[in-house]
Structure 1
Amino acid sequence: MTVGNCGVETVYERPPERAVTLNQHVTEIMLALGLENSMVGTGYLDDEIPPAYREAYDGIEVIADEYPSYETLLAAEPDFVYGGFASTFEEGRGRDALAGAGIDSYLSLEACAEPPVTVDLMDREIRTVAEVFGVPRRAEKLLGELHGTLDGVRDAVAGVEAAEVFVYDSGDKTAFTAGGGGIGNEIIELAGGANVFAGLGKPFGDVSFEQVAARAPDAIVVYDYGDRSVADKKRFLLSHPALQDVPAIRNERFAVLPLSSTVLGVRVPEAVDSLARQLHPDRFR
């Protein structure tokens, strides 16, 4: 089969047998498809692997805590490298360099997609990976389960008044937030919200705290990852002088999502369900 992926065309004569995954969301796609026996290495988690995939994950060698060097990657002798972000294929790990070593590569479609990124792209990502590995039926079974979750949320929040939502990822001088170009925006909309920075045509971007205040969000979604705790992020926002008149701050209305569930992977429906329950708890009693 021939696959066009983010400007790179690859012809697969047979399914890969020695895959390396870099970034959590693509690792979880492989595990959800039951492809752990086709994996020889992995790297770069943002948080814990879900319990359903933990046993399979524990049987795979972690070749680096974050991104491996090119030499470390080659030492795993992969025939396929699956990356979650464009940064996977930087610093000597370029796709051309891998191809020159006889290694195929694939980049998550969110990294190169024209906005907006929707659930349809999640379906395409899962189906394409399953086809490359010769297990298309597994993709359909998995997607049936994922869309079952989404259908349940859609029914629960039908007709609800959308909450005006600001996403706080990080930042002190400016706020790094979710724009309208990534799956994070779709997650908000499917959960019964409206992203106040949907007009930012990128998956993520920096805005001023004065811009946040001007949009007066009803709720703030905090992305949970890294060394800075959710509690610390909340304290920072609650004490920020520019935000004191923002309804979400006055009412201390926060929701929390792990970062790994807000990128294109199998956790997207779970993120929609979790956010909907936090924004509209009365619809789930």
Structure 2
Amino acid sequence: MLAGCADAPESEPAAVSAADSREGPAFPVDVAACGHTSTVETAPERAVTLNQGATEVMLALGLEDRMAGTAYLDDPEPPTRWADAYASVPVISKEYPKREELLAVDPDFVYASYASAFDPKVAGTPKELDALGVASYLSPFGCEDDSLRPEPSFEAVWEEIEAVGSAFGVSDDAAELVAEQQDVVAGLADDAAGAGTTVFWYDSGDKTALAGVGGGGPQVVIDATGATNIFGGIDGGWEDVSWEKVIAADPDVIALADASWSTADDKIAYLEKDPVLSQLRAVQDKSYVVVPYSQSTAGVTLVDGAASLAEQLSQLSS
């Protein structure tokens, strides 16, 4: 996804930090995704992220000091472990900023999780940004062209982390982060905390339920624990399903996506108030697990979602 120039050295020093690698022989590099390639001439110093997933990759790589701004949290709050780092980055807008607001912070790199961030009224198209000398990167999971979008998986997330690490000259830090996550995933497979447990992943909705189904982040998270998704046979990432189908499946556990627009508490209140849904075994037993919405989407915290689900399933079974 990223290629260095032809005369780049074969290896870098054993320890490369964000500060140490801001200038060096690794640049320029080409950053490519979703059919567009931007050339990063030098390690970016004024990056802007326009979705939570992109922001979290930056913070996980310790790049908050390279950020001129951020926007659009999906969760009610940023992850606790990055709260201080997040607080150090100016918030341009609660949701997407206007293009004028974005350009006012003089970005040299724009990174987003969804193609909607590159609307002409938001960041502008990648080509328009190139014309201004601003490199850009859209997560491959956000490609508008389905043929260019990878299936959600930990491996695809790790490829994105490595791509961003290369763009900012912190490839060693990216490799270390990927190795840590690989160890977590291996441990979850060994423990299989969800073995024998059926799960309904409830994202949002009341007349129908928007469920995590067989081809998205929720499925990756559920699979990592050894549990079974009651709607795992449906293609796609999320799908509206009838409550009748949920009732027929009568899952052991209901996983609740906690999002700013549909909180876990809101969904619990709805389930427990409804005269029919309140009779589900999981509702009767209060067999709920709560996972931040961002941890159910393909991104750097997808592993955290799997680890959290596994821990909560273990607690329910004890």
Q: Same fold by TM (over 0.5)?
A: yes
Contact persistence 1:182–1:204 (CA under 8 A): yes
Contact persistence 1:192–1:279 (CA under 8 A): no
Q: Give the whole-Å Cα distance in 1 for the aligned partners of 2:290 and 2:281.
A: 17
Stretches of structure 2 lacking an aligned partner (at least 5 in a row)? 1-28
- Residue of structure 1 in register with 2:155 after alignment: 120
Mapping 1:20-39, distance limit 5 Å: 20-39=48-67
Q: Does 1:253 align with 2:292?
A: no
Contact persistence 2:142–2:149 (CA under 8 A): no
Q: Give the whole-Å Cα distance in 2 for the aligned partners of 1:56 and 1:270.
A: 18
- Residue of structure 1 in register with 2:86 after alignment: 57
Query: Paired residue for 1:68, among 97, 120, 126?
Result: 97
- Residue of structure 1 in register with 2:40 after alignment: 12
Instruction: Describe the SS at the equivalent of 2:211.
Output: strand
Q: Give the whole-Å Cα distance in 2 for the aligned partners of 1:228 and 1:4.
A: 34
Q: Give the whole-Å Cα distance in 2 for the aligned partners of 1:153 and 1:55.
A: 28
Q: Give the whole-Å Cα distance in 1 for the aligned partners of 2:40 and 2:262.
A: 42
| Distance of aligned partners of 1:120 and 1:228 in 2 relative to their CA distance in 1, 3 Å threshold | closer
Greater shift after overlay, 65-74 or 226-235?
226-235
Contact persistence 2:202–2:257 (CA under 8 A): yes
Contact persistence 1:19–1:81 (CA under 8 A): yes
Identity among equivalent positions (%) equals 40
**What TM-score, normalized by structure 1, do the two folds share?**
0.89
Structure 1 residue 81: Cα displacement? 0.8
- Residue of structure 2 in register with 1:92 after alignment: 121
- Residue of structure 2 in register with 1:132 after alignment: 167
Q: Does 1:3 align with 2:1?
A: no
Q: Give the whole-Å Cα distance in 1 for the aligned partners of 2:95 and 2:181.
A: 28
Structure 1 residue 42: Cα displacement? 0.7
Deviation track 1:207-260 (CA, whole Å, cap 9, x = no partner) reads: 221222233322110011215442331121233355355432343311110112
Bigger-Rg structure (1/2): 2
**What residue identity is the alignment partner of 2:140?**
L
- Residue of structure 2 in register with 1:168 after alignment: 202
Q: Give the whole-Å Cα distance in 1 for the aligned partners of 2:80 and 2:243.
A: 37
- Residue of structure 2 in register with 1:104 after alignment: 135
Which 4+ runs in 1 deviate beyond 4 A?
none
Deviation track 1:140-190 (CA, whole Å, cap 9, x = no partner) reads: 1112222222222222227x6332111111111111121222222100110
| Distance of aligned partners of 1:214 and 1:89 in 2 relative to their CA distance in 1, 3 Å threshold | farther
Instruction: Describe the SS at the equivalent of 2:255.
Output: strand
- Residue of structure 2 in register with 1:207 after alignment: 241
Instruction: Describe the SS at the equivalent of 1:144.
Output: helix
Q: Give the whole-Å Cα distance in 1 for the aligned partners of 2:89 and 2:141.
A: 25
Q: Give the whole-Å Cα distance in 2 for the aligned partners of 1:42 and 1:101.
A: 19
| Distance of aligned partners of 1:196 and 1:68 in 2 relative to their CA distance in 1, 3 Å threshold | same
Q: Does 1:150 align with 2:185?
A: yes
| Distance of aligned partners of 1:202 and 1:98 in 2 relative to their CA distance in 1, 3 Å threshold | farther
Query: Paired residue for 1:80, among 104, 109, 123?
Result: 109
Instruction: Describe the SS at the equivalent of 1:169.
Output: strand
Structure 1 residue 80: Cα displacement? 1.1
Stretches of structure 1 lacking an aligned partner (at least 5 in a row)? none
Q: Give the whole-Å Cα distance in 2 for the aligned partners of 1:214 and 1:165.
A: 13
Greater shift after overlay, 123-132 or 230-239?
230-239
Instruction: Describe the SS at the equivalent of 1:42.
Output: strand
**What residue identity is the alignment partner of 2:182?**
H
Instruction: Describe the SS at the equivalent of 2:254.
Output: strand
Structure 1 residue 125: Cα displacement? 0.9
The Cα RMSD (Å) is 2.3
- Residue of structure 1 in register with 2:3 after alignment: none
Q: Does 1:48 align with 2:83?
A: no
Instruction: Describe the SS at the equivalent of 2:181.
Output: helix
Q: Give the whole-Å Cα distance in 1 for the aligned partners of 2:173 and 2:249.
A: 43
Structure 1 residue 78: Cα displacement? 0.9
Instruction: Describe the SS at the equivalent of 1:141.
Output: helix
**What residue identity is the alignment partner of 1:252?**
K
**What TM-score, normalized by structure 2, do the two folds share?**
0.81
Q: Give the whole-Å Cα distance in 2 for the aligned partners of 1:115 and 1:242.
A: 38
Contact persistence 1:63–1:72 (CA under 8 A): yes
